[in-house]
Amino acid sequence: MSFPFSGSRSSKTFKPKKNIPEGTHQYELMKHAAATLGSGNLRLAVMLPEGEDLNEWVAVNTVDFFNQINMLYGTITEFCTEDSCSIMSAGPKYEYHWADGHTVKKPIKCSAPKYIDYLMTWVQDQLDDETLFPSKIGVPFPKNFQSIAKTILKRLFRVYAHIYHQHFSEVVQLGEEAHLNTSFKHFIFFVQEFSLIERRELAPLQELIDKLTAKEQR
């Protein structure tokens, strides 16, 4: 699918795609995920394939969601500026302050483009860390992998929340709403399947989540 990128888009926020190396088991898993997604049944597509390792499945999908959100945000960066989005919010009730627990220990208030840049850089650093996201067969995942993945997914959700609340009209103008909705629905079914994000974190988009998931349950 082609994306109408603007020349004024900040390449700083748009992170390079994270590729899973060919020939690895994770690459095969990714191909399986893509094939199942093609069937159109998202509930089935997120289920752990028989005999597979849960950590590996969560890792492959986390990389995929990072790439998807990266792409989606890349289409609207020209509308998400220091002036238009001076705070990182998801509607009037929800505001996010940035902290990564290492270099920024005390949460700081910042604009949405700055927050999302910090967030995507922080996620990318973890995805590239072989001790956290091993790509080689036989290299074990860290014991706290699930909690690492949960934090990443919780924060990636905030980018969806910001796009839906602050930029949905621009997404519609670009003709990207079906792509955004499918990506978000896939993300929600995945985090629900493995209880990866607490319900209270999903509050900014709960109404939309109920609507998207109700259709699938009929």
78-114, pLDDT tens digit by residue?
A: 999 999 999 999 999 999 999 877 778 788 899 999 9
CB distance 186 to 37 below 8 Å = yes
State yes or no: 110 annotated in a binding site: no
Helices within the chain (DSSP H only): 25-38, 42-46, 54-76, 112-127, 145-173, 177-193, 206-217
pTM listed for this prediction: 0.86
Q: What is the pLDDT of residue 44?
A: 85
State yes or no: 167 annotated in a binding site: yes
Decide if pLDDT at 25 tops 80: no
Section 170-179 average pLDDT: 93
Q: 145 Cβ partners below 8 Å, 6+ apart? A: 55, 58, 59, 132
Q: How confident is the model at residue 150 (pLDDT cuts 50, 70, 90)?
A: very high
The mean pLDDT of the chain is 85
Q: What are phi and psi of 40, to 5 degrees?
A: 90, -10
State yes or no: 80 annotated in a binding site: yes
What is the domain partition of the chain in residue ranges? 25-217
The rounded distance, in Å, linking the Cα atoms of 89 and 96 is: 6
Q: Is CATH 3.40.640.10 correct for 25-217? A: no
Which single residue is written with the structure tokens 């014991």? 143
CB distance 35 to 142 below 8 Å = no
The whole-angstrom distance between residue 114's C-alpha and the CA centroid of its chain comes to: 17
pLDDT tens by residue, 126-142: 999 999 999 887 789 99
Decide if pLDDT at 35 tops 60: yes
Q: Give DSSP secondary structure letters for 151-215.
A: HHHHHHHHHHHHHHHHHHHHHHHTT-HHHHHHHHHHHHHHHHHTT-S-GGGGGGGHHHHHHHHHH
Write out the two tokens for 29: 């898993």
Q: How confident is the model at residue 11 (pLDDT cuts 50, 70, 90)?
A: very low
Q: How confident is the model at residue 16 (pLDDT cuts 50, 70, 90)?
A: low
The rounded distance, in Å, linking the Cα atoms of 114 and 112 is: 5
